Structure formats: C-alpha cells, structure tokens
Amino acid sequence: MNSKEIENVIKLEPHERYKYFIKKVADWEIFFTMVDKEGNYVTSELDSQKLFPLWSAKELAELCKTSGWEEFTIKQIDLDVLENEIIDYIADSGCLINVFPVYDRTGFVVNLQEFTRDLSEELKNYS
C-alpha cells in the first residue's frame, strides 16, 4: 500500500473501512492480526467485551502498534486458517471482531455470524 492509499482509507468511517476490508480480503484471501511473544492471539476490550482485531494489510496493522501494542507481532492469516483456527478461537473466546481499528481507536465491531456472512457473500463475487 502506498501512503496516499493508507491516508485515504484511515479517514473512512468505521463501517466504510469494514466494507473496504471485506472487499480486500475477498480479493487477496489474506488478512492480518496480532500475536504476542508466545504466539497467542491479541485481543482488546471495550465495555467488558473481548475484541479480536483484523486488518486487510500489514501496513494498516502497523498503525496500531501503539498504546501498549508495540511489542506485538503482526501475523498474516489466510482463509484456511480463518476457517480452521480463527473462527473456533473467536467463538470459544466469546470475542467480537474488531475490523480495521486505526491507531488506538476501535474499528467496526461485528459478531462472528455477521462477519462470516458478509465475507462469504463477497467471496461469491470472486469465484
């Protein structure tokens, strides 16, 4: 991603960033999250709800390495890992999905069912 694209995308409202995310992930079939030094997935909390962060590009995830997240590592994930590992983790942990947070601001928060439905619908456009 070039700096102009990053600048334009982070200015979008959370729901518009969510739609951008869904389109990019459907197109590239990869996305990004963060893990700690032990390789455990990183979550945040909002109103006592655990949030699992996802980004459509490594450069966008880098913007969130602030406010205590500096030591975390960005991890690339493909759709197979989503289906075989991430969905179970999110369901078992009772997390909501925090799609495309920017800096220390929450992104668009969605539950697992809505997320998988929206992504599946968009993936139909690419098959």
Instruction: Tell me the CATH number at 55.
Output: 3.40.1350.90
- Please count the structural domains in the chain: 1
CA distance 52 to 78: 16
Do the Cβ atoms of 90 and 98 come closer than 8 Å? no
| Structure tokens given for 40 | 């455990």
Sequence-distant (≥ 6) Cβ neighbours of residue 105 within 8 angstroms? none
Torsion angle of the four alpha carbons 89, 121, 22, 117, in this order, in degrees rounded to the nearest 10? -30
Along the 127 residues of the chain, how does pLDDT read in single tens digits?
Answer: 889 999 999 999 999 999 999 999 999 999 999 999 999 999 999 899 999 999 999 999 999 998 889 999 999 999 999 999 999 999 999 999 999 999 888 999 999 999 999 999 999 998 6
Domain limits at 31?
Answer: 3-126
